[in-house]
Structure 1
Amino acid sequence: MKYTLALSVLLFTSCEQQKIGFVDNSTLINDYQEKIDIEKKFQTKIDAFQKRTDSISKAFQLEAQEFQLNAGKLSQKKAQEQYEALGKKQQMLQQKIQFEEQQIQEQSQSEIDSLINKVKDYVKSYGETHGYTYILGSNEGGSVMFGKEENDLTDTILKELNDAYKTKK
């Protein structure tokens, strides 16, 4: 009797239908409006950074050209001092530019990482709410080689993510 009951429970649970869906990771992330907005925000920062960098570079080039024109009129010692000061200034400007560029990259990466975690959490919540046993992610590497179109949740989840994002804005 015990074995029959155990076998019945085993058969029942193994016959239980598992609900499996999948999402296209690239589409889900790249078409998410919040990611598009983050990219626009950082493109604006990058453009402003590039303008400042160009302006600083032009000003430094003018200063270097002026030094070259006037170097012949200066004593060797004075010319050497100004040359060294110009070299230090150039190095300082390069360090400042590299630091600012690194800051922009780190901020961008941090926001994208946060966004990816947010999407993962949303997919998990969606799966739990809609009774999925698994929601797989497909990508170029081929973690899902095939899936029936009716099991593709990408557009559904993307729409819900974008709708939720619009209401937050």
Structure 2
Amino acid sequence: MKNLIIIVALAFSFFSCQQQAKIGFVDNGKVINAYQEKKDVEGKYKQKDETFQKRRDSMISAYRLEYQEAQLKASKLRNQAQLQELSSEIQQKENLLTQKIQFEQQQMQQAFNAEIDSVLSKVRTFVDDYGKRNGYTYILGKNEAGSVMYGKEEQDISQAIIDELNANYKKKE
């Protein structure tokens, strides 16, 4: 009996000395969408896209004028070889225009994706550092996939992450 009491007392003291894990969670979507650098990147590419759309519309309008001129010219031509050549020339211009537009769109999309990936990487690194600085054992990510289905409000450190991220970003500007 005496040994049992000693074992229970030792076990109790052992478990009470164990440090409890500090766990928090971050709403990934909320943090990313509230991060000013991400907003700035999106704004930059929205502006680039608007400029591109205007340039694209202008190129298409110029092509349409050429096409209409070619149709007028074709209506006056009687030689089948000349008609074929004119048709081929217009088709080639359309293909080049389409390729140019697609190429520019792909270039812009790739540049946007690279910048967004960089922003996401910065956020992950920041959360890592935040966890280390603030003594967290785990920081979980809450998202639509359901990695955190429920968390107590006081364990949600999303706003603290957002505030520090944006403060650090403003310092760099």
Whether these two folds match at TM > 0.5 is yes
Distance across 2 between alignment mates of 1:37 and 1:133: 32
The answer to whether structure 1 residue 55 and structure 2 residue 31 are counterparts is no
**Counterpart code for 1:94:** T
Query: Does residue 1:110 correspond to 2:114, yes or no?
Result: yes
Aligned twin of 2:28: 25
1:83-135 CA-partner distances (Å, limit 9, x unpaired): 10110111011111111100011111111111111100000000000000000
- Aligned equivalents of 1:51 and 1:130: distance in 2? 49
Report the equivalent of 1:143: 147
Q: Does the residue aligned with 1:72 lie in a helix, a strand or coil?
A: helix
Distance in 1, matches of 2:16 and 2:166, equals 37
Instruction: Return 5+ residue gaps in structure 2 as ranges.
Output: 1-6
SS at match of 2:149: coil
- Return the alpha-carbon distance in structure 2 between the equivalents of residues 138 and 60 of structure 1: 50
1:16 aligned counterpart, secondary structure: coil
Give, as a single letter, the amino acid of the residue that structure 2 aligns with 1:58. Answer: S
Q: CA deviation at 1:14?
A: 7.7
Distance in 2 (alpha carbons) for counterparts of 1:14 and 1:135: 23
Distance across 2 between alignment mates of 1:119 and 1:70? 60
Count of aligned positions: 163
The reply on whether 1:34 has 2:37 as its aligned counterpart is yes
Other-structure match for 2:169: 165
Larger radius of gyration: 2
TM-score calculated relative to the size of structure 2: 0.89
Amino acid at match of 2:66: E
CA distance in 2, matches of 1:90, 1:14: 76
CA gap of 1:73–1:114, structure 2 versus 1, over 3 A, is same
TM-score by length of 1: 0.91
Q: Which runs of 4+ in 1 moved over 4 A?
A: none
RMSD: 1.8
Residues 53, 160 of structure 1: alpha-carbon distance in 2 compared, 3 angstrom cutoff: same
Structure 1: which amino acid aligns with 2:140? L
Distance 1:95 1:14 in 2: 68
Letter in 2 for 1:15: Q
Per mean C-alpha deviation after superposition, the further-off stretch among 135-144 and 67-76 is 67-76
